[in-house]
């Protein structure tokens, strides 16, 4: 989740596209459901592209999904013995980001990690060294904030 957040603050045009997709699928106060989450292909691509990038790849391009070999992204393994929790993990990520991004625009702060971030790798978890520093701007104030 921290790596997806990092990518969204460093690629505001991608974040904006995810928010546009959310608006096209969900009305502002509509409850997020399983079926509405299934109608967020661009958000899914952003999550998958982030997982493909870390450990490091060459470039962040969510639009790559159709051109990338499925074996290039091994975050959950592949084939009949892939991670049993993969679908649940994707659902949780999409659900969480849908809730956040329909109300806030995420921005870098003066203390945000540079891109690409320094990654702390261990056998179980990849994380950004020092965490993610982010400012959440309510969308009703986001347009004003852009002019700073």
Q: pLDDT tens across 125-136, in order?
A: 778 888 899 999
Q: pLDDT tens across 23-36, in order?
A: 999 987 899 999 99
Determine if the pTM surpasses 0.85: no
Per-residue pLDDT of the chain (148 residues; tens, 9 = 90+): 889 999 999 999 999 999 999 999 998 789 999 999 999 999 999 998 888 777 555 566 676 666 666 555 666 777 778 788 888 888 999 999 999 999 999 999 998 888 778 887 776 677 888 889 999 999 886 555 554 4
Q: What is the CATH number of the domain that holds 15?
A: 1.10.630.10
Q: Measured between alpha carbons, how far is residue 113 from residues 5, 25, 50, 82, 108 in Å? A: 11, 32, 16, 32, 8
- How many structural domains is the chain composed of? 1
Domain of 22 in residue numbering reads as: 2-146
Long-range contacts of 121-128 (CB under 8 A, 24+ apart): 121/55, 126/3, 126/54, 126/55, 127/2, 127/3, 128/2, 128/3, 128/6
Residues 72/51, Cβ–Cβ less than 8 Å? no
| CA 100 – CA 74 distance, rounded (Å) | 26
């Amino acid at each position: 989740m921290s790596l997806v957040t990092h990518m969204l603050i460093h690629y505001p045009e991608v974040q904006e596209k995810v928010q546009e997709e959310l608006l096209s699928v969900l009305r502002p106060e509509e409850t997020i459901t399983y079926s509405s989450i299934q109608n967020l292909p661009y958000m899914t691509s952003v999550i998958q592209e982030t997982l493909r990038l870390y450990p490091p790849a060459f470039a962040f391009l969510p639009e790559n999904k159709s051109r990338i070999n499925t074996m290039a992204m091994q975050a959950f393994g592949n084939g009949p013995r892939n991670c049993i929790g993969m679908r649940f993990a994707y659902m949780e990520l999409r659900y969480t980001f849908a809730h956040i991004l329909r109300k806030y625009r995420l921005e870098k702060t003066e203390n945000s990690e540079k891109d690409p971030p320094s990654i702390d790798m261990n056998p179980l978890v990849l994380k950004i060294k020092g965490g993610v520093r982010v400012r959440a701007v309510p969308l009703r104030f986001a347009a004003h904030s852009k002019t700073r």
